[in-house]
Amino acid sequence: MRSYRTDLEGLGRSLLESDRKLRDADLPAIRAWLGRLDAKEPSTIARKIASVRNFFQFLVREKILERSPASRLRGPKVPRKTPRFLEVGEAAQALENPTQEGVFWLRNRALLELMYGAGLRVSELCGVDVEHLDLERRMVRVRGKGNKDRVVPFGPPARAALKEWLAGRTEGALFVNSRGGRLSVRSAWRIVRDAGVANGLVGVHPHVLRHSCATHLLTGGADLRAIQEQLGHSSLSTTQRYVHVDTQQLLQVYRSAHPRARTDGK
């Protein structure tokens, strides 16, 4: 939402140069604004176009405008990048050696273990309350995109870390800051990043842990449908972007499964 607001404010400032308001934009004015942007990454341009198109669609739905000036706006092709993931040893190193000391070390370790162990989005993680945990069954209920609830499992290391962090607490936000308030998404992001840096792993962020969870599930034998449920994807095609198999594993699977890949004729 912050990004969408920034995009619309940028278009608004561009329009003010010609004494026009945001609702008075036309297609040439929008294209002129896009042409002056410093951002050149296709993904950034595509998001800005999506922001503008959705805003004007909203104005049409609310009968503020008769038609959207951005309806014929088309974004650039955005190449799909395979997200980074950690090797199993790298993930264990970051999870077991977080930053900070004392009670916040316990909090950070529990946060990292649960994020990786359950494959949670950072927003889902920060929204978890203590009541949403079932430590005995090692399950957690989270609210994902579209306000859809799902229950996902996590492992024994996450349970052990959560027990230490909770220390008998039975209600309220699961992860809190130094003032006792709910931990923000930005703070959780920083905790993950700092754990990576402290262990010599540059570029680690919450999505890397989520993708690592999906990748390690796949290499451990889980099928895509199970991973889809774990991650809370509405579409299987989204899950396929998050997981990949290395060449050696693909070769082993092929040789063991394909009838024409075996030399013994069996």
Token digits of residue 41: 């990454």
Give the model's pLDDT for residue 242: 65
pTM for the full model?
0.72
Please, what are the domains in the chain?
2-61 (no CATH), 88-248 (1.10.443.10)
Which tens digits make up the pLDDT trace of 64-77? 989 999 888 887 77
Give the residue with greater pLDDT, 42 vs 160.
160
Does residue 79 sit in helix, strand or coil? coil
Q: What's 209-230 look like in SS3?
A: HHHHHHHHHHHCCCCHHHHHHH
Residues with catalytic roles: 121, 145, 207, 210, 233, 242
Give the residue with greater pLDDT, 234 vs 159.
159
CA distance 48 to 8: 8
CA distance 45 to 54: 14
Average pLDDT in the chain: 88
Confidence of residue 104 (pLDDT cuts 50, 70, 90): very high
Confidence of residue 54 (pLDDT cuts 50, 70, 90): very high
Average pLDDT of the segment spanning 228-251: 75
| 129 has a pLDDT exceeding 80 | yes
pLDDT cut 90: percent of the chain above it: 55
Give the model's pLDDT for residue 166: 96
